[in-house]
């Protein structure tokens, strides 16, 4: 099935054309293209309208890049939540309009399930069941995944997400933006054991990164002399290692507890090179297979939404034109092996 | 901060104490109230909000997590809790995308982290809580607002053993 997918849950406006939930024909992300050239060079001043301005050019670009027309599209998938309702509605309305005008089936997809499903766009992907770590700026969750739509939450953050811990540390140290990328780069020349930052919640699969952030704040406040540039690599390498340690440790423990030897790592933070290295290294020692998509599929994109959409549309699932956006949409509540989306 | 209002200042010795102070504040708040939180990174804004959520009876199974990247987190309680974060906004103009008027003038309790970024457009009768880092575990918590609301909170905090 040839699916057009749209994603607009947070910062990115994205569209993608994917064949059979496996083959990406195009994947367009607004921040990476010159949206305004399609509007004759009108550059808007206010970022708040960016989804609305980007949505049509992004969809057109996705069709162009895939060398298909709307006549070829067989179904539409769109992110329904979780996210900002105002942002979600832009994508949802576009999807509904297309589906209505072209008489195409459409389904609303969970953004987090999309992240998990992004692994199926990678040549090397696991069979069900597996344990998945979804780790980004806004989310840090461990799931046991038995099938599409069948998730059990094993762990989640109690305060800050891992991506936020990276971003705020970069802000505290004033080393630039985006924080995760800057820290990843600077940490390569640092000593991971130089500063003993805390690893919290050792006896749980839940995460807490707020204490780590406070620990870094205290480290900077206790100093009597300003932090020199040449100290930054050791500081960020130690800080990054504290995050990586708990992400890797808890996810592999979750796999052992739930009796699966397959682990999937997805979301923006899965682009972190130290995290990728440590996952492969630590998992190999435990006989666990690790699957991480290429970096282009880790950050928010629409191709991952097409994977879930293709699966559901192929089974004959349809959503109605009264489908609403959901700001909060957990994949599964704790302790419940429930099916969602009903 | 308002000149002619009511204000008090307390010291929290731990994250648990900060949450307890938040809980007592939350118990006094309801539909239509806006709690504006200010203070540097790591000063405890999300921590005190975790307490506020319990104070308006958001069930324990809802973990109150940082809204920095998601911008708004919504939780059901005695009234809806809208937990917003202005950290990533460049200014008030970005708020339009968030449909902020629906929240500010709606039927829930709005808690806003990094409220200083939008001070120009905040309604006048807010409760302000500013937080300051003292040492690894201690924080200064300054509460200000009109004498009615902040006064009630002050009395409740005294009854709870604070101040």
pLDDT digits (tens, 9 = 90+) for A130-180: 999 999 988 999 999 999 999 999 999 999 999 999 999 999 999 987 889
Give the residue from chain B lying closest to A163, CA to CA: B69
- Nearest-by-Cβ selection for B42 from A50, A158, A217: A217
Instruction: Look at residue B136 and give its three-state secondary structure.
Output: coil
Q: What is the CATH number of the domain that holds A259?
A: 3.30.420.40
Instruction: Look at residue A5 and give its three-state secondary structure.
Output: strand
Cβ of B94 within 8 Å of Cβ of A48? The answer is yes
Q: Which residues of A touch B96 (CB under 8 A)?
A: 46, 48-49
The interface residues of chain A toward chain B in range 44-83, judged by CB-CB distance below 8 A, are: 46-51, 82-83
Q: Which residues of B touch A330 (CB under 8 A)?
A: none
What pLDDT score does A96 carry? Answer: 98
Residue A103 placed within a domain = yes
Per-residue DSSP letter, A287: T
Number of independent structural domains in chain A = 2
The helix-helix angle for B147-159 and B15-27 (nearest 10°) equals 130
Cβ of A163 within 8 Å of Cβ of B99? The answer is no
Cα–chain-centroid distance for residue A123?
19
Residue A283 and residue A317 in one domain: no
Identify which has the larger pLDDT, A162 or B97: A162
- Nearest-by-Cβ selection for B74 from A136, A213, A328: A328
Residue A200 placed within a domain = yes
Cα–chain-centroid distance for residue A187?
22
Residue A174 placed within a domain = yes
Give the Å distances, CA to CA, from A282 to A143, A262, A289, B109.
Answer: 19, 13, 10, 45
Strand ranges across the sheet with B34-38: B6-12, B139-145, B127-133, B34-38, B109-113, B81-85, B72-75
What pLDDT score does A333 carry? Answer: 55
Give the minimum alpha-carbon distance from A208 to chain B in angstroms, rounded to a whole number: 10
Cα–chain-centroid distance for residue A31?
16
Q: How many CB pairs under 8 A join A and B?
A: 90
Residue A255 placed within a domain = yes
Residue A95 and residue A225 in one domain: no
CA distance A218 to B41: 11
The mean pLDDT of A224-229, rounded to a whole number, is 92
Does the pLDDT value for residue A325 go beyond 50? yes
CA distance A137 to A177: 13
What's the predicted TM-score (pTM) here? 0.92
Cβ of B69 within 8 Å of Cβ of A218? The answer is no
Residue A10 and residue A147 in one domain: no
* CB-neighbour burial class of residue A245 (10 A; exposed 0-12, middle 13-18, buried 19+): middle
Residue A339 placed within a domain = no
Q: Which residues of A touch B66 (CB under 8 A)?
A: 159-161, 164, 210
Residue A152 and residue A248 in one domain: yes
Does the pLDDT value for residue A34 go beyond 70? no
Q: Which residues of B touch A210 (CB under 8 A)?
A: 42, 46-47, 66
What pLDDT score does A262 carry? Answer: 98
What pLDDT score does A335 carry? Answer: 41
Residue A144 and residue A281 in one domain: yes
Residue A153 and residue A231 in one domain: yes
What pLDDT score does A86 carry? Answer: 83
The mean pLDDT of A249-270, rounded to a whole number, is 97
Q: Mutating which of A90, A159, A334 best tests the B interface, going by the most B Cβ atoms within 10 A?
A: A159
Q: Nearest-CA neighbor of A114 among A87, A77, A73, A89?
A: A77
Q: How many CB atoms lie within 10 A of CB A242?
A: 22
Does the pLDDT value for residue A212 go beyond 50? yes
Give the minimum alpha-carbon distance from B94 to chain A in angstroms, rounded to a whole number: 5
- Nearest-by-Cβ selection for A159 from B65, B93, B133: B65
Our separate counts of H helices and E strands in chain A read: 10, 10
Does the pLDDT value for residue B37 go beyond 90? yes
Residue A246 and residue A195 in one domain: yes
Does the pLDDT value for residue B17 go beyond 50? yes
CA distance A86 to B88: 17
Beta carbons of A156 and A140 less than 8 angstroms apart: yes
Q: Nearest-CA neighbor of B109 among B68, B158, B76, B143?
A: B76
Residue A98 and residue A135 in one domain: no
Residue A287 and residue A139 in one domain: yes
Min mean pLDDT across A119-133, B2-16, B60-74 is at B2-16
- Structural domain harbouring A92: 2-117+299-330
Output the CA angle A48-A308-A271, nearest 5 degrees: 65
Cβ of B47 within 8 Å of Cβ of A210? The answer is yes
**Which string of DSSP letters, residue by residue, matches A214-279?**
HHHHHHHHH-SSPPPGGGHHHHHHHHHHHHHHHHHHHHHHHHHHTT--EEEEESGGGG-HHHHHHH
Q: Which residues of A touch B42 (CB under 8 A)?
A: 168, 172, 210, 213-214, 216-217
Predicted confidence band of residue A191 (pLDDT cuts 50, 70, 90): very high
Cβ of A215 within 8 Å of Cβ of B136? The answer is yes
Residue A340 placed within a domain = no
What pLDDT score does B4 carry? Answer: 55
Residue A89 and residue A142 in one domain: no
Residue A244 and residue A279 in one domain: yes
Could you tell me whether strands B127-133 and A289-291 are parallel, antiparallel, or unpaired per DSSP bridges?
Answer: unpaired
pLDDT tens string A89-137: 999 999 999 999 999 999 999 999 999 999 999 999 999 999 999 999 8
Q: Which residues of B touch A83 (CB under 8 A)?
A: 70
Contacts for B80 with CB less than 8 Å, ≥ 6 apart: B74, B106, B107, B108, B109
Cβ of B61 within 8 Å of Cβ of A334? The answer is yes
What pLDDT score does A167 carry? Answer: 92
CA distance A277 to A244: 10
- Nearest-by-Cβ selection for B133 from A47, A163, A221: A221
What pLDDT score does B89 carry? Answer: 80
Q: What domains appear along chain B, each with residue ranges and CATH number?
A: 5-159 (3.40.50.300)
The mean pLDDT of A310-329, rounded to a whole number, is 95
Residue A249 placed within a domain = yes
Assign residue B71 a region: left if phi > 0, alpha if psi is -120 to 50, beta otherwise?
left
Residue A59 placed within a domain = yes
What pLDDT score does A303 carry? Answer: 98
Chain B residues within 8 A (CB-CB) of chain A?
Answer: 41-42, 46-47, 50, 61, 63-66, 68-75, 90, 93-99, 133, 135-136
Q: Which residues pair with B139 in a beta bridge?
A: B12, B133
Does the pLDDT value for residue B72 go beyond 80? yes
Residue A251 and residue A305 in one domain: no
Check: complex ipTM more than 0.85: yes
Q: How many CB atoms lie within 10 A of CB B57?
A: 13
């Amino acid at each position: 099935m040839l699916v057009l997918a749209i994603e607009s849950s947070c910062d990115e406006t994205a569209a993608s054309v994917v064949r059979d939930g496996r083959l990406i024909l195009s994947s367009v992300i607004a921040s990476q293209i010159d949206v305004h050239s399609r509007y004759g060079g009108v550059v808007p001043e206010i970022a708040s309208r960016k989804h609305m301005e980007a949505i049509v050019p992004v969809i057109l670009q996705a069709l162009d890049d895939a060398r298909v027309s709307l006549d070829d599209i067989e179904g539409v998938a769109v992110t329904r939540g979780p996210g900002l309702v105002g942002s979600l509605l832009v994508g949802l309305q576009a999807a509904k309009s297309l589906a209505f005008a072209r008489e195409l089936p459409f389904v609303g997809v969970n953004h987090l399930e999309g992240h998990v499903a992004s692994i199926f766009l990678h040549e090397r992907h696991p069979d069900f069941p597996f344990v998945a770590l979804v780790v980004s700026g806004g989310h840090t969750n461990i799931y046991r995944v038995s099938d599409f739509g069948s998730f059990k939450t094993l762990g989640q953050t109690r305060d800050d997400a891992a991506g936020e811990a990276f971003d705020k540390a970069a802000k505290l140290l004033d080393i630039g933006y985006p924080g995760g990328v800057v820290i990843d780069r600077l940490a390569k020349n640092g000593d991971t054991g130089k500063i003993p930052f805390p690893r919290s919640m050792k006896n749980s699969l839940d995460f807490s990164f707020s204490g780590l952030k406070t620990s870094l704040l205290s480290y900077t406040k206790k100093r009597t002399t300003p932090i020199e540039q040449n100290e930054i690599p050791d500081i960020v390498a130690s800080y990054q290692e504290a995050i990586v340690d708990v992400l890797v440790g808890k996810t592999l423990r979750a796999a052992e507890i739930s009796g699966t030897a397959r682990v999937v790592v997805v979301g923006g933070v899965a682009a972190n090179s130290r995290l990728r290295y440590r996952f492969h290294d630590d998992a190999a020692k435990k006989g666990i297979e690790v699957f991480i998509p290429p970096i282009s599929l880790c950050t928010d994109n629409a191709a991952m939404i097409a994977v879930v959409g293709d699966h559901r549309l192929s089974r004959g699932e349809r959503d109605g034109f009264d489908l609403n956006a959901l700001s909060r949409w957990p994949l599964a509540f704790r302790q419940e092996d429930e099916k969602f989306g009903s | 901060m308002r000149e002619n209002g009511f204000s008090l200042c307390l010291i929290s010795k731990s994250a648990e104490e900060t949450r307890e102070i938040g809980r007592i504040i939350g118990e006094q708040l309801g539909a239509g109230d806006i709690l504006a939180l200010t203070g540097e990174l790591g000063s405890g804004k999300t921590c005190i909000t975790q307490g506020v959520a319990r104070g308006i009876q958001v069930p324990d199974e809802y973990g109150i997590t940082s809204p920095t990247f998601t911008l708004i987190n919504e939780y059901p309680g005695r009234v809806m809790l809208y937990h917003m974060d202005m950290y990533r906004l460049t200014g008030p103009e970005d708020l339009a995308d968030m449909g902020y008027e629906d929240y500010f003038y709606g039927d829930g309790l709005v808690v806003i982290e990094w409220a200083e970024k939008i001070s120009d457009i905040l309604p006048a009768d807010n409760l302000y809580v500013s937080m300051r880092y003292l040492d690894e575990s201690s924080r200064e918590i300054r509460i200000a607002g009109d004498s009615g609301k902040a006064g009630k909170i002050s009395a409740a905090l005294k009854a709870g053993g604070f101040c």
